[in-house]
């Protein structure tokens, strides 16, 4: 069961999200907070798997809430769920350590998929957000970067949000082999983490299995 904490200052929004998430057999809303300060305290108490965090709130905004929450609980999987994709705040949110960024007008099924992906350590991104993020801070695209078929396959599974253990199981190889491939990929494309690698992959036409590759 995936435990989710909602942090949003609008009670109607929280109620709607709680109702939607309760419709999934594998997701449970373990807590709700109407401010960043209360959300940080609840995260420490409830230890949720995923935090859905609004960006615009009185007092602590989403960026500062994420920064403080992750300082206290570095392994927390935070997904921003907001009404807009302001370029500056978007970059700040990822710099603060959030895993994903979704917009509130997304399809309900996409939200459920995003929560599940985040629980696995993936980075759910609304396509509109991905385009903005790619434009402002995508890792450098190097001419002549050559990836093997296996490296491209593994990178596509990273785009899908799979962890190394899951990739290894999917491909019938060892987890150590997956890690070795990803280390080489990171070095070749000039990135330092999985989110940057996934963004580089999307920019260069490498999409995940669920996206039709």
Output the DSSP codes for 124-177: -B-HHHHHHHHHHHPPP--TT----HHHHHHHHHHHTT--HHHHHHHHTS-HHH
Summarize pLDDT for 100-119 with one digit per residue, the tens: 899 888 899 999 999 998 99
What is the maximal distance between C-alpha atoms in the chain?
51
Q: Please give the backbone phi and psi of residue 10, each rounded to the nearest 5 degrees, phi first.
A: -100, 115
In percent, how much of the chain has pLDDT > 70?
88
Q: Could you tell me the pLDDT band of residue 208, with boundaries at 50, 70 and 90? A: low
**What are 39's strand-pairing partners?**
none
Q: Please give the backbone phi and psi of residue 196, each rounded to the nearest 5 degrees, phi first.
A: -65, -40
pTM of the model: 0.68
Query: How far is residue 196's CA from residue 192's CA, in Å, rounded to a whole number?
Result: 7
Domains of the chain: 2-136 (3.40.50.2300), 139-211 (1.10.10.10)
Q: Could you tell me the pLDDT band of residue 213, with boundaries at 50, 70 and 90? A: very low
């Amino acid at each position: 069961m995936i435990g989710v904490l909602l942090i949003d200052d609008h009670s109607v929004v929280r109620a709607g999200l709680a109702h939607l998430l309760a419709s999934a057999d594998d997701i449970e809303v373990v807590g709700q907070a109407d401010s960043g300060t209360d959300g940080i305290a609840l995260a420490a108490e409830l230890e949720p798997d995923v935090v859905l965090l609004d960006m615009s709130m009185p007092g602590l905004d989403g960026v500062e809430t994420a920064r403080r929450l992750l300082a206290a609980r570095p392994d927390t999987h935070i997904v921003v769920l907001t009404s807009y994709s302001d370029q500056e705040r978007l970059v700040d949110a990822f710099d603060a350590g959030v895993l994903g960024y979704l917009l509130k007008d997304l399809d309900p099924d996409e939200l459920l998929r995003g929560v599940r992906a985040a629980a696995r350590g993936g980075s759910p991104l609304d396509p509109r957000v991905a385009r903005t993020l790619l434009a402002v801070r995508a890792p450098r695209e190097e001419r002549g970067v050559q990836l093997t078929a296996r490296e491209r396959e593994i990178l596509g599974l990273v785009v899908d949000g799979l962890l190394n253990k899951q990739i290894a199981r999917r491909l019938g190889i060892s987890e150590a082999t997956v890690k070795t491939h990803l280390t080489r990929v990171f070095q070749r494309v000039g990135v330092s983490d999985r989110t940057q690698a996934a963004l580089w992959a999307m920019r260069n036409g490498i999409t995940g299995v669920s996206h039709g590759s």
